Amino acid sequence: MTDIKSLTLPELQNLVVEGGFPKFRAAQIRDWLGKGAADFDEMKNLPAALRDFLKTSCYISVATIEKKQVSRYDKTVKYLFAFRDGECVESVLMRYHHGYSICISTQVGCKMGCTFCATGKSGFSRSLTASEMLAQIEAAQRDEQIRISNVVLMGMGEPLDNFDNVVRFLSLAGDEKGLNIGARHITLSTCGIVPRIYDLAALKLQINLAVSLHAPNDEIRSRTMPVAKAYPMERLLKACRDYFEATGRRVTFEYSLIHGVNDSDACARELGQKLRGTHSHVNLIPVNTVEGTGYQKSDRQRQQSFANILAAYGVTATVRRTLGSDIDASCGQLRRKHMKKENEGGI
Ligand code: SAH
Ligand code: SF4
């Protein structure tokens, strides 16, 4: 069965022509899919023969709400979505003054094994298709009756470990007849798979790239992020500079402050030295405590001191507030609990 929502318009045209139908039908199908049709029978302006052909050869990918939690503090919504094979991922919908932003998943689980991350701790199941990434956004829009203007690929999974599907998603999300979310409104976060950063740079997309650094050197970084052993920081930072050269888009760095691990003044100074003159921005995020990791977030004073030291090196840093702290909004936590419950139920 063909995953019809992952097809580009030219691919959709090939599909209908090969099925013996006129090419213009493809645009009609695309419009229905863009409107969120979940069933081929909804596509009223298609002849019955074409609908039958589609029913026997294709499926429409949807995300169904398995669980939903709404934060009492800030109305952040966390979804656990299920796909047709029963696999689940998390998405987080956030309300800002300027509109709605959603954090979506790109994989079921993750292979990268970062020690502070709930997703990393629960292993890897499979990558998501482009349509499954779109479906998370569509389902949240439908559920809340809203239009989402910004997307961050910061949910479960490593986007650059699912490169082709993510790039396909980026192009489909911009479709004016569909979600109509342009590249400049999409942020991709990566743990730093250097060769794929170059592949991405070569595409010259206008997306925002965020790199999860979480340490000022390889020694500390490799304690929490195994990927640091494969791609040392020097190569990673060079890739970020080259990315900027190629695309004109500045890279943002994510830095989760973990008490006693990466939050000392010495760490801040070392990071400041390395990022000085790069005009890069650092997002400082107090680490979300994940069961079983033993990590604690740095206190406010430490967060501020870290930011001040970076500022002294000319590196701008923002201490991010954490949204939805009462609903396990750090991705991977809800699914992990859900899986645990299911396992407990099964024993
Ligand atoms: N795999 C990608 C994107 C998904 S993770 C990446 O690693 O960048 C999205 C962000 O959440 C990353 O910056 C990641 O380091 C961070 N993160 C993961 N677990 C966290 C936790 N417990 N507390 C704070 N940030 C966390
Ligand atoms: Fe994967 Fe990102 Fe979690 Fe690391 S932080 S395990 S790369 S999802």
pLDDT tens for each residue of 216-275: 999 999 999 999 999 999 999 999 999 999 999 999 999 999 999 999 999 999 999 999
Q: What tokens appear for 167 in the block?
A: 């790039």
> Which pLDDT band, with edges at 50, 70 and 90, does 347 fall under?
very low
**pLDDT at site 34:** 92
Ligand 1 proximity of 212 Cβ (cutoff 6 Å): yes
Tell me the chain's radius of gyration from C-alpha atoms.
Answer: 21
Q: Give pTM, 2 decimals.
A: 0.94
Ligand 1 proximity of 190 Cβ (cutoff 6 Å): yes
Question: How far apart are the C-alpha atoms of 264 and 49, rounded to whole Å?
Answer: 67
- Does the domain at residues 2-59 carry the CATH identifier 3.50.50.60? no
Q: Which residues contact 220 (CB under 8 A, 6 or more apart)?
A: 261, 262, 267
Q: Is 337's pLDDT higher than 70?
A: no
Report CA-CA distances (Å) from 83 to 17, 69, 171, 212, 285. Answer: 29, 18, 21, 28, 30
| Region label for 93, one of left (φ > 0), alpha (ψ between -120 and 50) or beta (otherwise) | beta
Atom of ligand 1 nearest to the CA of 333: 22
> Which pLDDT band, with edges at 50, 70 and 90, does 345 fall under?
very low
- Which architecture does CATH list for 64-343? Alpha-Beta Barrel (3.20)
The domains of the chain are located at 2-59, 64-343
Question: How far apart are the C-alpha atoms of 111 and 121, rounded to whole Å?
Answer: 9
Ligand 2 site residues (CB inside 6 A) read 110, 112-114, 117, 119-120, 157-158, 191, 212
Q: Is 326's pLDDT higher than 90?
A: no
How many distinct helices (H) and strands (E) make up the chain? Answer: 13, 14
Mean pLDDT of the chain: 93
Dihedral (CA of 278, 279, 280, 282) sign: positive
**pLDDT at site 327:** 62
> Which pLDDT band, with edges at 50, 70 and 90, does 137 fall under?
very high
Mean pLDDT of 127-149: 97
Atom of ligand 1 nearest to the CA of 110: 1
Q: Which residues contact 303 (CB under 8 A, 6 or more apart)?
A: 257, 263, 284, 286, 319
**pLDDT at site 329:** 58
Give the H/E segment covering residue 283: strand 281-286
Tokens 């063909």 sit on residue? 2
**pLDDT at site 146:** 97
Q: Is 73's pLDDT higher than 60?
A: yes
**pLDDT at site 27:** 97
The reply to whether domains 2-59 and 64-343 share a CATH topology is: no
